[in-house]
Amino acid sequence: MPNYELLKKKPFYLNNSQVLWVKNTLEALTLDEKIGQLFHLIMYEYEDEHLRELVHKYKIGGIMGRQMPLEDTCKAVTYLQKESEIPLLISANFEAGGDGMIAEGTNVGPNMQIGATANPEFAAKQGYVCAREGLAVGANYAFAPVIDIDYNFRNPIVATRAYGSDPRLVRECGVAYTKAVQEQGMAVSIKHFPGDGVDERDQHLVTSINSLSCDEWDASYGEAYKACIDAGALTVMIGHIMQPEYSRKLLPGIKDEDIMPATLAPELLNGLLRDKLGFNGMIITDATTMAGISIPMARDKMVPYTIAAGCDMFLFAKNLDEDYMFMTRGVKDGVISPERLDEAVMRILATKAALKLPDKKESGALYPNTRAAKQIVGCKEHKDIELMVADNSATLVKNLQGIIPIDINKYRRVLIYPLFTGASAYGSDGFENTQLIKEFFENEGFEVSIYKAESGYTEGRVASYKGMVDKYDLLIYISNLTTKSNQTTVRIEWAQPMGANCPNFQIDIPTIFISFANPYHLLDAPRIRTFINAYKLKESNLKAVLDKMLGRSEFKGVSPVDPFLGRWDTRL
């Protein structure tokens, strides 16, 4: 029998009537309904037939929303909550703002941009906007904050998603976000336990490793998780990341081949997270469609073993019919004991009770009001917070030439080198941002050209050195090589032939490099003497950086990581 007394403690703090709702609901569920509660799936659009199947056939416990138009989001959430007998957990990647779910949502800034303000209060503001906009469209669960630590600059998936490389800053920002979100009635999920950012590989593509010693882990990731748990975090998201030193400590004699990612490691879920760190809330896996969890264990065994190992909720499915069958078979074959199944479902229901979802369903408050949501999502208050973050985060890493602020009388003729692989502020390949920058400078009286690499292999016949020096007063590199999943590196790939767009002229022509994403590009452009990090390519950041370049305001950002990568040549 589940220990319902646990639900009166942190982080749930349920009263007697709420505990009774959990108990009565759990006891009334059929086996299939209990299994359905374990699944937390995904929606990309408002589609009645698909959503109806998820609710009625599978009786899922929750669903994550990808970015959709506001009206469609409200319709989908209303439909799901009305059709589901038990209220659903409605989640999204609210890492940077309401735009994690809502196309019209505010993007306050990625975590590293918040870290560059050196002020955790901005993490609280970030969380405030995330919760306010998410709740307005009916969401109740943030897959955030990311409390990974960006120790390894080669990691392609952490980077700007982390608050920085300083464990104290990450801890303080994570706590600030957690409190701000949960004070408004939305659950957080601190992630990605046991912590990403040590390995240079992406857990979407491989089972990665947090290779810190137990003492090192305790003093960094451990403190961040403990602080957020103490702050009341309702849930923890588990990464497909191994922590071999703790696995070896908690299971002496374990063979290397038996060391599993945390999603499949009872010693990490129970021995470390629950027992050592004292976490009593709900545990959810990271996406089970990732290679990091699929590689070390056959899927038919892996699906039920996530729950048997100690996770309470299973995120996404590769083939829903098949994964549901694997989970059901795991229950019937005893991989998941009846006690473990009830404990997992109890914590899922307790999370819903802690968010007062049953009461909201009864009162009608569970269903979003589209008109009211439009007054909140993207409102002036939230946009003003975005502008404050932009103003306080833009970071002047190097100004060795002393050319900032830019004097138009000395640097009128400008050549811009675009290095774009990510989406623009307007949702395409970055061309509009190049044009926006070009127009901004032209409106100030500059003469602006855009560099385009010559086609074909033209070594020996490229544009002349003297022609470049005589033609331009200033060169500006604009980079947007974004942090995203399913890539193995974030490095500049210079144009042919022989790095045609490399900073070959930086000695003779003053050169500025602005990164609107990855903060580590000095690795590939080490001798550029004027370097700016702005962390995300969006209009508020563009305008803030350009205003500061022209001397209208000062650069206030403080690097939350080492942009010099510990190298001497990057400081030249």
Structural domain of 489: 394-571
Are residues 398 and 372 part of one domain?
A: no
Are residues 228 and 193 part of one domain?
A: yes
Q: Which two tokens stand for residue 271?
A: 């021995």
**Which is nearest to 451 in space by CA: 429, 426, 477, 469?**
477
Angle between helices 338-354 and 299-309 (to 10 degrees): 70
Contact between 518 and 159 (Cβ < 8 Å): yes
Are residues 203 and 104 part of one domain?
A: yes
Which residues contact residue 456 at a Cβ distance below 8 angstroms, ignoring those fewer than 6 apart?
none
Q: What is the pLDDT of residue 465?
A: 82
Q: What would you report as the CA-atom Rg of the chain, rounded to the nearest whole angstrom?
A: 25
286 is catalytic: yes
Residue 48 placed within a domain: no
565 alpha-carbon distance from chain centroid: 23
Residue 414 placed within a domain: yes
Are residues 197 and 168 part of one domain?
A: yes
**Which is nearest to 349 in space by CA: 42, 118, 14?**
14
* Torsional class of 146: left (φ above 0), alpha (ψ -120 to 50), beta (otherwise): beta
Which residues contact residue 365 at a Cβ distance below 8 angstroms, ignoring those fewer than 6 apart?
359
Are residues 412 and 324 part of one domain?
A: no
Residue 16 placed within a domain: no
Are residues 358 and 401 part of one domain?
A: no
Residue from 148, 150, 199, 286 carrying the catalytic annotation: 286
DSSP secondary-structure letter at 275?
Answer: I
Which residues contact residue 464 at a Cβ distance below 8 angstroms, ignoring those fewer than 6 apart?
none
DSSP code string of 322-375: HHHHHHHHHHHTTSS-HHHHHHHHHHHHHHHHHTTHHHHHHHTTTS--HHHHHH
Are residues 343 and 460 part of one domain?
A: no
How many domains is the chain partitioned into structurally? 2
Residue 255 placed within a domain: yes
Contact between 536 and 110 (Cβ < 8 Å): yes
CATH code, domain carrying 460: 3.40.50
Are residues 355 and 402 part of one domain?
A: no
Which residues contact residue 122 at a Cβ distance below 8 angstroms, ignoring those fewer than 6 apart?
108, 114, 388, 389, 392, 393
* CA dihedral (540, 542, 543, 544) positive or negative: positive
**Which is nearest to 38 in space by CA: 361, 342, 355?**
342
Q: Which two tokens stand for residue 486?
A: 């399913």
The residue out of 321, 347, 376 marking a domain boundary is 376
Q: What is the pLDDT of residue 1?
A: 87
The residue out of 376, 403, 427 marking a domain boundary is 376
Residue 37 placed within a domain: no
Residue 285 placed within a domain: yes
What average pLDDT values come out for the chain (572 residues) when binned by 10 residues?
97 99 99 99 94 97 98 98 98 98 98 99 99 99 99 96 99 99 99 98 97 99 99 99 99 98 99 99 99 98 99 98 99 98 99 99 98 99 99 99 96 94 46 77 92 66 80 96 85 85 94 97 98 96 94 98 98 98
Q: Is 324 exposed, middle or buried (0-12, 13-18, 19+ CB in 10 A)?
A: buried
DSSP secondary-structure letter at 313?
Answer: B
CATH code, domain carrying 344: 3.20.20.300
Q: Could you tell me the end-to-end alpha-carbon distance of the chain, in angstroms, rounded to an integer?
A: 66
Alpha-helical (H) ranges within 98-145 are 111-116, 121-136
Residue 5 placed within a domain: no
The residue out of 345, 376, 407 marking a domain boundary is 376
Are residues 498 and 402 part of one domain?
A: yes
* CA dihedral (431, 432, 433, 437) positive or negative: positive
Residue 311 placed within a domain: yes
Q: What is the pLDDT of residue 425?
A: 40
Q: What is the pLDDT of residue 434?
A: 78
Are residues 333 and 458 part of one domain?
A: no
**Which is nearest to 549 in space by CA: 424, 386, 437, 461?**
437
Are residues 306 and 275 part of one domain?
A: yes
Are residues 468 and 364 part of one domain?
A: no
Parallel/antiparallel/unpaired status of strands 235-238 and 187-193 = parallel
